[in-house]
Amino acid sequence: MAEDLFAKDADSAEARAAAHPDWRAPMLATLTDERFSDRGWIYERKFDGERVLLFREGECVRLLTRNRKDVSSTYPELAEAVARQPLHDFVADGEVVAFDGKVTSFARLQKRMQIKDADDARASGISVFYYLFDLLHVDGCNIEGLPLRRRKSLLRKCLRFRDPLRYTPHRNETGEKYFQTACRKGWEGVIAKRADAPYRHGRSRDWLKFKCARGQELVIGGFTPPDGERKGFGALLLGYYEDGVLCYAGKVGTGFDDAFLENFRKRLESRRRQTSPFAPVPDETDAMWVRPDLVAEIGFTEWTENGKLRHPRFLGLRRDKAAEDVVRERPS
C-alpha cells in the first residue's frame, strides 16, 4: 500500500521505511496572544478533551495518553472502531471528547476518564468521540517529515471516518475570522498550524494556541479544610514548576460537586505530607500539604501581578500530563 500512497509523490523522499513504533511523543502547541491569518497556515478547532495517540499494528490497538497511559479500556468503543479499519499499520494523533450540547466538555469527559473497566465504561451513558487530526506512520513508513497538509490528506484517504471516529476539518488562511467564530460558539479556541511543517515531538511554535478563555494545568500541592456545612475540603492549593521549584499560584474553591469533594478528600489524605511542597511556603491558614503528583485543569480570568490566579475555577483532573512537566504558560 505504501507504494500506492507515495507513488510519484514529490514528498516521498520524506517518507522513510520504519518498523511500527512502540511510542511517539506528541507535538504540542505554544500559547500566543497573537491572532493572524496566513495562507501558509491552517486553523483547527481546539477541543476541550484528552489528547490520545492511536497505535494500530495488526490486531493490536493501543490508545495512549501523552504520558503513555493506556486508556483502551476507558474508551473501548474507540478501540473497537479502530479495529474495524481496513488499514492495519498506522499511528495517528487526536483528541477524545465528550459533548455537552454542541460544545466539548472536559467536566463531562472527566466522569468517563476515571473508569478503567471496559464494561463499566460502556454502561456509563457518556458518549465519546475521537477527533483525529494527524498521521505519523502508515503501512511501514514514518511520514512525520511530510508537510502537515500532506499528512492530513493521507489521514483522510487511509481511514474510514464514521462515529465515533471523526476527521478534524480545518480552515485555510482565515485564522482571525475562525477564532471569532470559535469564541462566539463557546469553543475552547483554535489551533493554528504551519501547513508545510513536519511533525515535531514536544512543544513547537509551528503549532500555536488561540484560546477564547484562559486556562491551564496546575499541580495540586495541598488543600484547606471545609467551612460550615461544606464536605471534603475547602480549596485546593495550586502551583507550577519553574527552575525545578514548585511555585504557588493560589487556591481554587469552586467547580466541585459534593460527590467529588468527599471522594477526592480520600485521595488527598493518601498523599498527606508534613512539609509544604511549595517554595516559598504560602501563607495559608490551616493548610494541609500533599505529595504534588496530581494535576488539575483550571480556568481563570488572568494572572495577577504577583503571579496568582484571578477567579480560578476547577474544571477537572488531568491524567495525561506528569506533574513535573507543568509550567506557567506565558503568551509568546
Q: Note the pLDDT of residue 8.
A: 45
Q: What is the CATH number of domain 214-325?
A: 2.40.50.140
Distance of CA 2 to the CA centre of its chain: 30
The pLDDT of residue 9: 52
Give the span between the Cα atoms of 189 and 214, in whole angstroms: 10
Nearest to 46 by CA among 164, 194, 213: 213
Residue 16 near residue 7 (C-beta atoms within 8 A): no
User: Helix %, strand %, coil % for the chain, to 5?
Assistant: 20, 40, 40
| Residue 111 phi, psi (nearest 5) | -65, -30
Three-state SS sequence of 77-138: HHHHHHHCCCCCEEEEEEEEECEECCEECHHHHHHHHCCCCHHHHHCCCCCCEEEEEEEEEE
Q: Exposure string (b/e) for 209-230, b if CB count within 10 Å is 16 or more?
A: bbbbebbbbbbbbbbbebeeee
Distance of alpha carbon 52 from alpha carbon 203, whole angstroms = 16
Instruction: Identify the H or E element spanning 300.
Output: strand 288-300
Instruction: Give the span between the Cα atoms of 312 and 332, in whole angstroms.
Output: 22
Q: Which helix (H) or strand (E) holds 5?
A: helix 2-6
Instruction: Give the residue extent of every domain in the chain.
Output: 2-11+18-211, 214-325
Contact between 198 and 144 (Cβ < 8 Å): yes
Give the model's pLDDT for residue 259. 92
Cβ contacts of residue 234 below 8 Å, gap of 6+?
Answer: 223, 224, 225, 226, 227, 253
Residues in the chain, pLDDT under 50: 2, 8, 10
- CATH 3.20.20.30 holds for 2-11+18-211: no
- Predicted confidence at residue 140, as pLDDT, reads 96
CB 159 within 8 A of CB 91: no
- Report the amino acid identity of residue 35: R
Residues marked active site are found at 46
Rg, Å, the chain Cα set:
21
Pseudo-torsion of CA 198, 204, 208, 214, nearest 10°?
Answer: 150
The neighbouring-strand residues paired with 289 are 222, 273
Burial of 20 (0-12, 13-18, 19+ CB in 10 A): middle
How do 165-167 and 129-138 pair as beta strands?
parallel
Q: Is 153 helix (H, G, I), strand (E, B) or coil?
A: helix
